DNA sequence: CATCTCCTTAAGCGAACGTTTGATATAATC
DNA sequence: GATTATATCAAACGTTCGCTTAAGGAGATG
């Protein structure tokens, strides 16, 4: 019984911090605000997490673990390439749907005055580099082409993340009094969307098509360019 | 002569703030740090900008003005669509190259505890919505398709921005002592790139191809889907 | 019961926060 | 030079910051 309550205080701190960090950013949120929202004494933050930065560390670790599991939890050897891309996108979308706030916190937590956090995020990136590169070579990209790799690196994640960032933004300013009522009516870029399963199936399909065609376009152009250069040499 | 010095103090504050906000985020930077970096007394910040948030307001205004000029400063009526897209991307890339730091500040400045900033950014978005929608309809997208519009909205900007964000990140942790030396060697995802004009011409071409093929893929799939539905109805 | 472990608290520390006030210096204008 | 406008400064305000310390409460164990 008491053990359950213990875990609850720690979890409440975590959840409160995720919510507040997502809305205001890490630096703008103080431990007193977190403690109040979590209904604990502020010393609990040092007790359970070693301090404010400890919360962020755990948010990032939890989030990155889920994220990398999502993008690597696809057996890319047994299914056609397009299905592989679709599966990854589907996992990505599911990841962001289930962890919207903590993902926003973790992915945006980049401040050069917290070396520990810079270091931590770099470690995660380096650790998964090989798996990510394997995926790229499988879809036909030239992993030795530095520009191409620079271009596609993290592209799917970026696109999905920006979608959820925008959705979060709209959902948290509409109806909260942050905007004047007269402006709220104008702020939606399109009719209000119902972000249900059907929407995200559709979204996944759209992104899969977009990405597959896009990447094919890059690979095709590169091939044509090389052919063109041979023609020039022969002339 | 004195007028020049006057402008210099105000400009120095602006530049110092841009630099610091880009590295640490708005909330983590204090006015004393800005004043020190700009070599002025801290009261100058209130005098010239009405306070800390005033600097951010001007960064956003300056940046958004340049940004929207960049993406709308293309006459979309007189040139083929692909060239139009290429021109927009070229403008976008130029914008981010010339305003990397202030762009990072402006685009990341989203905190729900500063209603003024939320409001300001919303105003800019609403103001340019019509022009942006016109562009989308020109490239063949169905502007009445809410999901499609949600998908492509801000997509080019997102992709270019994420490239510059990553570049900024790498350039500012390599060699600064933030990372252990042993990890620095591992952090580059590919051979060091020279971000010269040639690179960005190549990048622009790549993104143009990617985007055009991607968008065509979406429009084509939508057309096929509709045809398929007709077939089902006839059977 | 005594002891240990874990959890929780109140109070406090030194530092920093953004803004304000009043004074002074400098520049511009007549 | 006198006056006005602008720029700059030091000092101070009330508040907040993350972390620490010491104490006490609750539960587990022998």
Other Cβ atoms within 10 Å of B72 Cβ, number: 16
Its ipTM equals: 0.88
- Cβ contact B159–A154 (<8 Å): no
pLDDT for residue B1: 35
Minimum mean pLDDT range among B26-40, B176-190, B192-206: B176-190
Nearest to A118 by CA among B105, B31, B176, B185: B176
Q: Per residue in A190-213, pLDDT tens? A: 556 789 999 999 999 999 999 999
Minimum mean pLDDT range among A11-25, A164-178, A208-222: A164-178
Assign A231 a pLDDT band (cuts: 50, 70, 90).
Answer: very low
Residue in chain B lying closest to A178 (CA): B115
> For chain A, what are the domain ranges?
58-234
B77 or A72, greater pLDDT: A72
* Chain B residues close to A141, C-beta within 8 Å: none
Minimum mean pLDDT range among A189-198, B107-116, B181-190, B225-234: B225-234
pLDDT for residue A181: 59
Cα of A5 to nearest chain B Cα, Å:
31
Nearest to B111 by CA among A26, A111, A55, A95: A26
Please tell us whether the domain made up of A58-234 is placed in CATH 3.40.50.
no
Q: Per residue in A132-155, pLDDT tens? A: 777 777 766 776 777 777 787 789
Element (H, E) at A133: helix A115-138
Q: What percent of chain A has pLDDT over 70?
A: 80
Residue in chain B lying closest to A171 (CA): B112
- Cβ contact B112–A193 (<8 Å): no
Give the integer Cα–Cα distance in Å for A96 and A73: 15
A69 or B234, greater pLDDT: A69
Cα of A8 to nearest chain B Cα, Å:
27
Give the integer Cα–Cα distance in Å for A201 and A89: 10
Give the integer Cα–Cα distance in Å for B37 and B205: 39
Distance B2 CA to C28 C1' (A): 10
pLDDT for residue B233: 31
């Amino acid at each position: 019984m008491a053990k359950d309550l213990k875990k609850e205080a720690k979890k409440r701190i975590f959840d409160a911090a995720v919510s507040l960090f997502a809305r205001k950013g890490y630096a703008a949120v103080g431990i007193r605000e977190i403690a109040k929202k979590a209904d604990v004494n502020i010393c609990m933050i040092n007790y359970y997490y070693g301090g404010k930065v400890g919360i962020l560390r755990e948010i990032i670790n939890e989030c990155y673990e889920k994220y990398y599991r999502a993008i690597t939890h696809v057996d890319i050897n047994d299914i056609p390439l397009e299905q592989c891309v679709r599966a990854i996108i589907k996992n990505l979308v599911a990841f962001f749907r289930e962890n919207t706030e903590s993902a926003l916190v973790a992915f945006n937590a980049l401040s050069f005055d917290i070396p520990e956090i810079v270091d931590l995020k770099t470690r995660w990136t380096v650790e998964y580099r090989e798996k990510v590169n394997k995926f790229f070579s499988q879809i036909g990209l030239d992993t030795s082409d530095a520009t191409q790799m620079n271009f596609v690196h993290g592209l799917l994640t970026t696109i999905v993340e920006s979608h959820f960032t925008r959705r979060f933004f709209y959902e948290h300013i509409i109806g909260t009094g942050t905007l004047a009522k007269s402006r709220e009516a104008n702020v939606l870029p399109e009719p209000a969307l119902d972000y249900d399963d059907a929407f995200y199936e559709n979204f996944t399909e759209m992104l899969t098509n977009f990405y597959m065609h896009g990447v094919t376009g890059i690979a095709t152009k590169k091939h044509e360019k090389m052919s063109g250069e041979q023609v020039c040499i022969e002339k």
